[in-house]
A and B are shown apart, each in its own frame.
Chain A
Amino acid sequence: MNSILDVAAIKRDFPIFSQEMRGGKRLVFLDSGATSQKPIQVMDAERNFYSTNNAAVHRGSYLLAERASEAFEGARDRVAQFIGAQSHEIVFTKSATESLNLLAVSLERTTGSLQVSEGDEIVVSELEHHANLIPWQELAKRTGAVLKWFEMNEDGSLNLSKIDQIITSKCKVVAITHQSNVLGSVPDIAPIIAAAHAVGALFVLDGCQSVPHQPVNVQALDVDFLVFSGHKALGPTGIGVLWGRQELLSQMEPFLYGGSMIETVTMTDSTWAEAPKRFEAGVPNMAQAVGLAAALDYLDVVGLSKIHQWELHLTNLALKGLKEIDGVKVIGPQGLENRGGVISFTIAGLHPHDIGQVMDQYGVAVRTGHHCAWPLIRKLGLTGTTRASFYLYNDESDVEVFLESVAGARDYFGNR
């Protein structure tokens, strides 16, 4: 399977792997679900922006301002191309979290058919990360709308048996994840999208765990909004994306007010610029947008289909290995069907924090706890899990060290 990706060559692009961890161990980074490492190309793109093009975008008439604007708008074009969208449908935010908050606030402020108000229904699922739950909870509280949700099955899929009761004619917006950040399970969103559209509701897709790992095309998915973060896709922190259909964004009220997002301003009133500028108040995170464009270039050169295939190969090896370690239980989907490159597991009698601490001694970086999806963890009757998530810079030897460290954690506490 080494032919899928040349991981050794990829790893050389990521400076972080050249250092030693505790006890002189090499880094086995299995926490890309939280944030990815960055290739030198991304850091160079940011440095280059600051070194040669830095000026506030969309303002000055001087050469640097032109270059900065060109670089920033070029990044927007790059993001659009990456997800099969139009450039003017791409809004840069500081994070996917901000993208979701922007939507929840804007849909409250926008008058007309898009407005969420008292008696309307908002639908989420038990799989959601806090970022795709709390903004909607709060929107419901502010407006008197009703929050409803799809329940999760034990295998991490969604229970769609009551879809007609959950998505009704009162439904205004449905916000669901493309892939669980905890379990790696991929919910069957097609029937949910169809049900939402059948009642005239908007469908918001949380692509944080999918866009960096597999080809995602917004036209093919037939969703209305997509959010994802740059830092999980090899890009810098401080840059997130909101994609929305142009006819929707053009009707929607702003989230933040200030410079850049206006058309005219008097002492008493203001009018708004066209989307996407309307949603980008203040000097944006320019260097980070440019860095994200470089990250997407990197992912496209390697190939997202290959990355996805490689992650599933590593996941398969890890799942098989975990099942051979006594006391280890894989949580959520047990096989490769309807899952991405994420595995959550528990070890009988051990707390995830303690497991992660021992794994750290092997140089293995994993996430422990509730993974910002506390309702999901509670539903499973757990206090937390240990999670490994794979990316393009992981290889089979990483899986070996991972398995060794899991067995090591079990033995460390089991033998004392």
Chain B
Amino acid sequence: MELDSLYQEVILDHYKKPHHKGLPVGELQVHHVNPNCGDEITLSLAIKNGKVEDLIWDGVGCSISQASASIMSDLVSGKSVESARVVLQEFTELMQSKGTISGDEEILEDAIALAGVSKFPARVKCALLSWMAFKDAAIQNGAEL
């Protein structure tokens, strides 16, 4: 079933038990919404010694948006700003590919499971919501992404 390419097991696992989900702290919290469906995410992080630290997010949304937030936070937490930039770029390209590329598993790890989303244009925003929130928060914390 075509649906199984969208809802892979790893996505449902992250959806049921999201990582780095909690109450964002500090003054610098970014809040992003998807006005099409009402999904919301609040996210905070710190940049320490050129690394992404203390990333924590909270939000409501569909399985794709929640799983994507969980996977994203695993991928960038504790990583250098430069590797976060590479992952972000790779993931954004994958999402915008309309299914034409499969993505680099070395870079994307669990996020490769979201490749199927790019074939469902209505859902791409769901998957990108948390990544855009991360990008925004990182830039506001002085990172060059």
User: Does residue A369 face the partner (Cβ distance < 8 Å to B)?
Assistant: yes
Q: Restricting to B65-103, which residues have a CB under 8 Å from any CB of A? A: none
Select one of B39, B60, B123 contacting A357, CB under 8 A.
Answer: B123
Q: Which residues of A contact B63 (CB under 8 A)?
A: 351, 353-354, 413
User: B126 to A353, Cβ gap below 8 A?
Assistant: yes
Report the minimum CB–CB distance from A351 to chain B (whole Å): 4
Rounded to whole angstroms, the CA-CA distance of A23 and B60 in the bound complex is 30
User: B3 to A377, Cβ gap below 8 A?
Assistant: no
11 residue pairs bridging A and B, Cβ less than 8 Å apart: A351-B62, A353-B37, A353-B39, A353-B62, A354-B7, A361-B1, A369-B36, A377-B38, A383-B38, A384-B37, A412-B7
Interface readout for A357-381 with B: 1 if CB under 8 Å, 0 if not? 1100100000011100010010000
User: B2 to A361, Cβ gap below 8 A?
Assistant: yes
Rounded to whole angstroms, the CA-CA distance of A369 and B33 in the bound complex is 13
Q: Which of the four size classes fits the interface of chain B?
A: 10 to 19
Q: Which residues of A contact B2 (CB under 8 A)?
A: 22-23, 361
Rounded to whole angstroms, the CA-CA distance of A109 and B38 in the bound complex is 34
Rounded to whole angstroms, the CA-CA distance of A379 and B116 in the bound complex is 34
Q: Which residues of A contact B36 (CB under 8 A)?
A: 369
Rounded to whole angstroms, the CA-CA distance of A22 and B62 in the bound complex is 21
User: B123 to A368, Cβ gap below 8 A?
Assistant: no
Rounded to whole angstroms, the CA-CA distance of A377 and B60 in the bound complex is 14
User: Which residue of chain B lies nearest to A382 when distances are taken between CB atoms in the complex?
Assistant: B38
User: B39 to A383, Cβ gap below 8 A?
Assistant: yes
Q: A353-B37, A353-B61, A354-B62 are in contact. List 13 more A-B contacts (CB 8 A).
A: A351-B61, A351-B63, A353-B39, A353-B62, A353-B63, A357-B3, A357-B6, A361-B3, A369-B38, A370-B37, A383-B38, A383-B39, A383-B61
User: Does residue A416 face the partner (Cβ distance < 8 Å to B)?
Assistant: yes
Q: Which residues of A contact B30 (CB under 8 A)?
A: none
Select one of B3, B37, B61 contacting A358, CB under 8 A.
Answer: B3
Q: Restricting to B35-65, which residues have a CB under 8 Å from any CB of A? A: 36-39, 60-64
Rounded to whole angstroms, the CA-CA distance of A416 and B62 in the bound complex is 16
Q: Which residues of A contact B9 (CB under 8 A)?
A: 416
Q: Which residues of B contact A374 (CB under 8 A)?
A: 38
Q: Which residues of B contact A351 (CB under 8 A)?
A: 61-63
Q: Which residues of B contact A22 (CB under 8 A)?
A: 2
User: Does residue B12 face the partner (Cβ distance < 8 Å to A)?
Assistant: yes
Rounded to whole angstroms, the CA-CA distance of A361 and B37 in the bound complex is 20
Rounded to whole angstroms, the CA-CA distance of A361 and B4 in the bound complex is 11
Q: Restricting to A389-416, which residues have a CB under 8 Å from any CB of B? A: 412-413, 416
**List of 7 A-B pairs having minimum Cβ-Cβ separation, nearest first:** A353-B62, A351-B62, A369-B37, A370-B38, A383-B60, A354-B62, A354-B63
Rounded to whole angstroms, the CA-CA distance of A358 and B63 in the bound complex is 12
Rounded to whole angstroms, the CA-CA distance of A358 and B38 in the bound complex is 19
Rounded to whole angstroms, the CA-CA distance of A352 and B39 in the bound complex is 11
Q: Which residues of A contact B60 (CB under 8 A)?
A: 383
User: Which residue of chain B lies nearest to A416 when distances are taken between CB atoms in the complex?
Assistant: B12
User: A413 to B12, Cβ gap below 8 A?
Assistant: yes
Rounded to whole angstroms, the CA-CA distance of A166 and B39 in the bound complex is 33
Rounded to whole angstroms, the CA-CA distance of A354 and B120 in the bound complex is 12
Rounded to whole angstroms, the CA-CA distance of A22 and B2 in the bound complex is 9
User: A357 to B38, Cβ gap below 8 A?
Assistant: no
Rounded to whole angstroms, the CA-CA distance of A384 and B37 in the bound complex is 7
User: A357 to B120, Cβ gap below 8 A?
Assistant: yes
User: Given A351-B61, A353-B64, A384 and B38 touching (CB < 8 A)?
Assistant: yes
Q: Which residues of B contact A23 (CB under 8 A)?
A: 1-2
User: A412 to B38, Cβ gap below 8 A?
Assistant: no
Rounded to whole angstroms, the CA-CA distance of A78 and B37 in the bound complex is 37
Q: Which residues of A contact B123 (CB under 8 A)?
A: 353, 357
Q: Which residues of B contact A353 (CB under 8 A)?
A: 37, 39, 61-64, 123, 126
Q: Which residues of B contact A354 (CB under 8 A)?
A: 7, 62-64
User: Which residue of chain A lies nearest to B6 when distances are taken between CB atoms in the complex?
Assistant: A357
Rounded to whole angstroms, the CA-CA distance of A357 and B123 in the bound complex is 9
Rounded to whole angstroms, the CA-CA distance of A354 and B126 in the bound complex is 11
Q: Which residues of A contact B38 (CB under 8 A)?
A: 369-370, 374, 377, 383-384
Q: Which residues of B contact A369 (CB under 8 A)?
A: 36-38
